[in-house]
């Protein structure tokens, strides 16, 4: 189907989270990277590649490219905070439940005390 100015086709779900936590995983790039890859695989998504960077302050940033879109996160251990971005789209199947599950499972890696979530149909 073509997308025109008057008609938008929802192809996926994009969940953005502000996550507050006291978890040591805010600095554990190796553990989190392994955990995210396992979550992606377990939920039937396809990881194309990833890039992670550790900052001197202890935080890190990570981006995982999926055939179905992406996962991105940025941590600030000194603030007990991270941002999490999960977008799953696909023209051939509805992946809203998978997107929510991946978002929730990644959050669980950080044992959050509070989460602010925004979900966008795209």
Nearest to 66 by CA among 79, 81, 85, 80: 85
Residues tagged active-site? 69, 74, 89
Mean pLDDT within 86-101 = 88
Strand order, beta sheet including 47-54: 47-54, 60-66, 69-76, 81-89, 12-20, 114-121
> Is residue 1 over pLDDT 60?
no
Contact 81, 19 (CB under 8 A): yes
- Residue bearing tokens 């929730």: 104
pLDDT of 4: 55
């Amino acid at each position: 189907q073509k997308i025109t100015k008057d008609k938008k086709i929802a192809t996926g779900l994009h969940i953005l989270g502000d996550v507050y936590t006291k978890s040591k995983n805010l600095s554990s790039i190796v553990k989190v990277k392994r955990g995210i890859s396992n979550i992606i695989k377990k939920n039937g998504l396809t990881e194309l590649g990833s890039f992670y960077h550790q900052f001197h302050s202890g935080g890190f940033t990570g981006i995982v490219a999926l055939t179905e879109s992406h996962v991105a996160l940025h941590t600030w251990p000194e603030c007990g905070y991270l941002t999490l971005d999960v977008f799953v789209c696909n023209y051939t199947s509805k992946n809203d439940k998978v997107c929510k599950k991946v978002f929730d499972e990644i959050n669980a890696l950080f044992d959050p005390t509070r989460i602010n979530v925004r979900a966008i149909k795209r």
